[in-house]
Each structure stands twice: as structure tokens, then as C-alpha cells.
Chains A and B, each alone.
Chain A
Amino acid sequence: MSAHLFQLRDIRFGYDPDHPVLDGVDFALTTGERVALCGANGSGKTTLLHVMVGLLTPSSGSVVAFGRERRCEGDFHEVRAQAGLLFQDSDDQLFCPTVAEDVAFGPLNLGQSRAEARRAADDALAQVGLDGFGHRVTHKLSGGQKRLVALASVLAMRPQVLLLDEPTNGLDRDARARLLGVLASLPQAMVVIAHDDDALAALTRRRVILEAGRLLG
């Protein structure tokens, strides 16, 4: 058994065939590893994370996740439960009227009973330090709280890997410090898009740079 959670080989992808965003990317992530993914604006960092969970299909190359090659939408259902993607804009991620419903959305989709889902939601909210926020109305939360709730909604599915797309983007200093504290306390392997955030990069051990469609280690 390989300790690789993800293994991407020669991934090519382009929104426009003449201008490939990813042009032969190789990437591997092992259990418990934390990697900072850097690169300029538009270099394809978000695209790479979306390819990893099958939201985008590469034109060539292979994605091996959790020991199996993943090709079609059906293959990726399991991957998405194991690899939680935190979106850049929390308003994209939080769509339920109340916090509890949003955090329990994933567990309910995984087939858990209401009681189990509620417990998973409570646990995840406690993990990000938002105990008792369940009844709050999602769109009335502050930006920092929204980000933490979005993180809780990912954690509630008990993933092995967290894929974080600029998690501190748009947060003030206090909210950032709080989020960094929560992230440091989590046991999961992580791929963090750290634009130019040194504190965020400090969470990780390895740093890779996406440049001209290729990943430089």
C-alpha cells in the first residue's frame, strides 16, 4: 500500500486549447503532509485543486487518489468526501439558511442519520471554536465567521485531506490569526494555496510553485 493520498501525473488542462493552464503537472501528496501551493495570479492554482477533486476534467494525464485511479464523475464522489475543498469565497460554499444545516449538509449527503449529522456538525463547529453557532443565520455572519463555518462544513465530513484555496483571503488580522490557529491544530494533510501569506506558508513543510503550467518543487 502506498502512503500517497494523491498522485497526479502529467496533468494537462486548458479552458482555451491554445493556452493551457496546466501543461504537464506532476504532484504527489503523502499522508499527513502539508504543502504550500504558490504561483502568480491566473497560474492555475485553483484549477489544480479543482482537478484533484474532479470538478474539472484534465485533457490528459492521470489522477490517482486514495489508491485508485479516478476518471469519471462517479469515481470522484468518494474522493470529495475524503478531500475537503475550502472555496475562496465562503458565500459560494455556504448556501443553507442556518449554520447547522450548512455544516450538516455534507454528512447528510453521506447517508448519515439526522442525529449523526447533527453530532458531526456540532463536533466540527466545536473544532473551529464556534460552539453554539448552529442556529445562526448564515448570511448575517461576519467574513471571518463565514470562513470558519465553511471550514467546519468541510471538517464535518471527516476528510483525510484539506484543500484550502487562499483561506485567509479577505480576512482581517484577528480573523486571520484565529483561522491560522484552527488550521495549525488540525491533523489532516493539507494543500494550501498561499498567495503571499507567509504565516500561512509557515503552516506547511513543503512549498511548490506553479509557473507556466508546470509545478516546480
Chain B
Amino acid sequence: MSSVLPLGITLSPLARLDPRSRVLAAFAFAVGVVWCQSVAALTFACALAAGLAVLARLPPLSTLRRVLAVEGFMLLTLASLPFTMGGEPVFTLLGFAAGGDGLHRAGILLLKSSAVLLATLALLGTLDMPALGHALARLGLPVRFVALFLFTVRYIDVLHREYARLRLAMRARGFRPRASLHCWRSLGHLFGMLLVGSLERSERIDAAMRCRGFDGRFHLLDEHRPGRLDWGFGAVQTASLLLLAVLDVW
């Protein structure tokens, strides 16, 4: 809705797409990339994802940080692959030979993860959570699942505030985390209290919902229709994925 944005801010081209188009595009892209095996195709996929990131106007620095954070998680796997997969030795490190097969496989993994991550950040990362939930609902995901997702979005903040309040009250009475039995027991009480509090809150929410006529069915208020932009984007996306497949087979 462009009407709700402050003056002077224009939407990125991706933001004008129907959220459903973005979910479908992200899913199709991820499946396509995971299926690819050739370096050429995956390099092309990375270029596509980078293009999407530019279209979504992702901030370069923080995006890079996020991508690196995920690559960091995979570091151990990536670093150990060349030494465990065998194949023609390319170089040796501390007497261990790094095989060509493993190196190749590590490179492919790196390309795949970067492409999928970047495209997901561009397509879904810029979508606000309620919009994502509604898009999933309209794509036919079970309403219960979507409701659970939306409840989580709504109440994670309430829970966090409750946690912060309890933590503050503990500190106000001189609690300092230490490796002692007292400390562990107190933290146990804190989380127990949070759990009981959440359960009671969920009962009150349920009561409040029943007061407003809730009968187990969720109705969605907003209605989107895919426009020309969505069909155009879908066509370009399909063509790109076909090209990806051709590159991969070739």
C-alpha cells in the first residue's frame, strides 16, 4: 500500500509484487538451485540472486554480514570436504591431501547456499511477517499453521517483555548469574514462571477471542489480486529457471 508510506519513499520493484508471487518465486528458485549440479549454472544462479537483491534494494553491508554469518556456520563442512572426499590431490596441508572432488563439492555447496540465501533475503526478507503469513494462507497452507505463525509474530514481543520484567525484578534483588545451584534453580523458576504465564495468557486470549465470536475459523481481511507486474515477474522467473536447467544439463 503506497498510501501509507511517508512522502519521499518509493517502493522497490519487488515490494510492489503480490506477496504470493514472492513466496512462490523464492520456493521455485530454491528448488531449482538445489537441483543444479554444475558450476556454470550455479554461478548464473548467484548472479540472478544478486540481481534480485539489487531489485529489492537490500542494504549491501548488512546483507553481506548475514550471508557471511550463514557461511560461517558451514565453515567446518566446507573446510573438511576437500580432505575427506578423495579424488585427485590438488594440494597438501600439514601432510593431508586436499582432493579435487571435495574441493569441487565444497565450491558447489558454497554457491548453492549463497544463491538461495541471497534470493530468500531479497524475496522474503523484505516482506513483513503478517504479509508473509497471509500469503501462505492464500497459497493454501493449513489455516492452523498460519495462525500459529501469526500468533508467534504477535506474542514473541509480549513474552520477551515478560522475560525482561522478571529478569529485572531478579536483578533488583541482587541476582547475578553464577555457576551455582542457586543460580540454576532461580533460572529454572524464571523459565517455569514464563511457561505458566504464557499458558495462562493463552487461556485469556482464547477467552477474548470467543467473546468476539471466534469459532475455530480464521477469516482474512485483505484481498490481493496478482497484477500484470506479477505475471511479468513470473514469466521472467520461469525463463530464468529454464535457462538455469539448460546450463546445468549442458
Chain A positions within 8 Å of B, measured between CB atoms, are 50, 53, 55, 77, 80-81, 84-85, 87, 89, 91-93, 95-98, 100-101, 104-106, 108-110, 114, 117-118, 121, 135, 137-139, 153-154, 157
Contacts and interface: CB of A to CB of B under 8 A. Distances in A.
Interface residues on B, range: 20 to 34
B85 interface: no
Interface in B95-136: 129-130, 133
A139 B201 CA distance: 15
Contacts of A89: 204
A205 B219 CA distance: 39
Contacts of B151: 95
A93 B158 CA distance: 12
Nearest to B3: A135
Nearest to A108: B219
B213 A98 contact: no
Contacts of B133: 97
A208 to B, nearest CB: 22
B7 interface: no
B150 A85 contact: no
A2 B4 CA distance: 48
A139 B157 contact: yes
A81 B217 CA distance: 16
B214 interface: yes
A84 B211 CA distance: 7
Contact of B212 (A137, A139, A157): A157
Interface string B191-224: 0000000000100110111111111010111110
Contacts of B212: 80, 105-106, 109, 153-154, 157
B129 A95 contact: no
Nearest to B200: A92
Which one of B150, B201, B212 has the greatest number of beta carbons of chain A within 10 Å? Answer: B212
Contact of A110 (B157, B213, B217): B213
Contacts of B215: 77, 109
B221 to A, nearest CB: 5
28 contacts: A81-B213, A85-B211, A87-B208, A89-B204, A91-B158, A92-B201, A92-B204, A93-B205, A93-B208, A95-B151, A95-B209, A97-B129, A97-B150, A100-B221, A101-B130, A105-B219, A106-B213, A109-B215, A109-B217, A114-B221, A114-B223, A117-B219, A137-B130, A138-B154, A139-B157, A139-B158, A153-B212, A154-B212
Interface of B: 1, 4, 129-130, 133, 150-151, 153-155, 157-158, 201, 204-205, 207-215, 217, 219-223
Contacts of B157: 139
Contacts of A153: 212
Which one of A85, A92, A157 has the greatest number of beta carbons of chain B within 10 Å? Answer: A92
A92 B219 contact: no
A123 to B, nearest CB: 15
Nearest to A81: B213
Nearest to A117: B221
A137 B153 CA distance: 11
B130 A97 contact: yes
A15 B1 CA distance: 49
B205 A92 contact: yes
A8 B111 CA distance: 70
A97 B209 CA distance: 14
